[in-house]
Structure 1
Amino acid sequence: MALRGEIKNAQTLGRMLQQGRLLRGLSQRELADELGISQRYVWEMESGKPTIFTDRLFLVMRATGMHLHVEIDEEQADHG
């Protein structure tokens, strides 16, 4: 089974990133260590903190009629 969602802004992207991490059973610290990034950066992404990049990305997507959809494969998430 998969979780699906439309990503409309940094906040909805953050929620889906958090769901993917939680389905893998990882803490923010564990994911950060695995990826070689800071736990704060993971927290900022999951909280939907806007950045110049995300603001511009979603602005361009809206202007061009694009939609971004994410699918989290729960079975694959269980196996890392």
Structure 2
Amino acid sequence: MATPPETTWASVHSAAELGAFLRHVRESRGLSQEELADELGIDRRYVYQIEAGTPTLYTRRLFGLLRLLDVRMEVHAR
């Protein structure tokens, strides 16, 4: 995978914000959802659901835990 020209940072507070960040990074690297899914060995629909921020039991619990503990999640792409 190609590296974007600059580092991209985001502070995420929800599955939707994380999905939007991941979509931005994927697109900046010129990858389609299908290409990314193939690299990961998963179905393209799963990539779509992640990028759409579709709530799952895991993400609800994860972001609930972060809120309760007053923990901030920052992500970056190199």
Give the TM-score normalised by structure 1.
0.87
Whole-Å separation in 2 of the counterparts to 1:36 and 1:23: 21
Q: 1:33 aligns with which of 35, 38, 41?
A: 38
Secondary structure (helix, strand or coil) at the match of 1:17 reads helix
State whether structure 2 residue 71 is matched by structure 1 residue 46.
no
Give the TM-score normalised by structure 2.
0.89
Secondary structure (helix, strand or coil) at the match of 1:62 reads helix
Q: Number of residue pairs matched?
A: 73
Whole-Å separation in 1 of the counterparts to 2:37 and 2:29: 13
Could you list the runs of 4 or more consecutive aligned residues of structure 1 that deviate by over 4 angstroms after TM superposition?
Answer: none
Whole-Å separation in 2 of the counterparts to 1:54 and 1:18: 17
Flag structure 1 segments of 5+ consecutive residues without an equivalent. Answer: 74-80
Aligned-pair RMSD on alpha carbons? Answer: 0.7
Flag structure 2 segments of 5+ consecutive residues without an equivalent. Answer: 1-5
